[in-house]
């Protein structure tokens, strides 16, 4: 209807313009000339366009997507302690009495004794050791935890002592018999960073296991022995 009214309005205006008398361009323009054409503001055409979101009949089946097929759900099982830890525990768990020597930086040595208590710990995931050492230089204590990592097929070990040192290292495991372990350990303490190697021979458990250690403070260029001892249950 608005478009029709606007069309009629435009036609009317054209008719009015055609009916006007012709003006002689040579005639002088009167100063008091008044325009008879009036613009009706109401006659302006206003757009009647309304923007609406498109309608769609597509529906998402949220319930169907939210459902999980019970057959596809993988049950997460709690990991079990490695068999290697249990096997090692059969050899080492108990109280050990050790005798041996501690070796000073200048190469001299002094007698030492130690008591080592070993047990399965933390839900049988770790073998824990507490070692109490006594020598001419005084007492020394250490707490260590060892476990086996099936993924890397290595033993892992962490320990701390009563002199402010910490030790973190690994071992490739048994060699040349039931259990010969060589530990490669990084150390950090009051003397700075260093490297430590522990050697443990459990092939002679009945007659006494042997243990020894050496240290390097120059990133493995030179090694100095630290201790050696024999332990019996």
Q: What is the pLDDT of residues 94-117, one digit of tens each?
A: 999 999 999 988 889 999 999 999
pLDDT at 74: 58
Give me the percent of the chain exceeding a pLDDT of 70. Answer: 66
Query: How far is 44 from 213, CA to CA, in rounded Å?
Result: 102
Give the CA distances from residue 36 to residues 9, 10, 17, 79, 196, in Å, rounded to whole numbers and listed in that order: 16, 16, 11, 99, 111
pLDDT tens-digit series, residues 34-43: 444 454 545 4
Query: How far is 198 from 230, CA to CA, in rounded Å?
Result: 14
pLDDT tens-digit series, residues 185-228: 999 999 999 999 999 998 877 788 999 999 999 999 999 999 99
Q: What is the pTM of this model?
A: 0.66
Mean pLDDT of 83-93: 93
Mean pLDDT of 81-103: 94
Residue listed under structure tokens 């050990």: 96
What does the mean pLDDT of the chain come to?
78
Mean pLDDT of 35-59: 51
Query: How far is 93 from 205, CA to CA, in rounded Å?
Result: 12
Q: Is the pLDDT of residue 47 over 90?
A: no
Residues 6+ apart with CB under 8 A from 160: 142, 143, 166, 167
Burial 15-36 (b: 16+ CB within 10 A, else e): eeeeeeeeeeeeeeeeeeeeee
Q: Please, what CATH class does the domain formed by 83-232 belong to?
A: mainly beta
Q: How confident is the model at residue 167 (pLDDT cuts 50, 70, 90)?
A: very high
Query: How far is 58 from 50, CA to CA, in rounded Å?
Result: 23
pLDDT at 33: 44
């Amino acid at each position: 209807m608005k478009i029709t009214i606007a069309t009629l309005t435009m036609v009317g205006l054209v008719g009015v313009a055609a009916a006007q008398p012709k003006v002689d361009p040579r005639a002088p323009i009167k100063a008091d000339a008044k325009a008879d054409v009036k613009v009706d503001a109401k006659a302006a055409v206003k757009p009647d366009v309304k923007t609406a979101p498109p309608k769609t009949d597509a529906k998402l089946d949220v319930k169907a997507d939210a459902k999980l097929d019970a057959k596809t759900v993988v049950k997460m099982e709690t990991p079990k302690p490695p068999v290697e830890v249990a096997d090692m525990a059969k050899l080492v768990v108990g109280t050990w009495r050790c005798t041996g020597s501690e070796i000073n930086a200048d190469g001299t040595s002094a007698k030492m004794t130690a008591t080592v208590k070993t047990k399965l710990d933390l839900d049988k995931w770790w073998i824990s050791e507490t070692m109490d050492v006594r020598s001419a230089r005084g007492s020394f204590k250490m707490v260590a935890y060892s476990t086996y990592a099936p993924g890397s097929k290595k033993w892992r070990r962490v320990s701390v002592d009563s002199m402010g040192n910490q030790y973190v290292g690994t071992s490739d495991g048994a060699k040349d018999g039931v259990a010969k372990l060589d530990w490669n350990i990084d150390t950090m303490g009051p003397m700075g960073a260093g490297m430590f190697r522990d050697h443990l021979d459990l092939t002679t458990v009945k007659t006494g296991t042997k243990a020894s250690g050496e240290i390097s403070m120059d990133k493995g260029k030179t090694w100095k022995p630290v201790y050696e001892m024999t332990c019996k249950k």
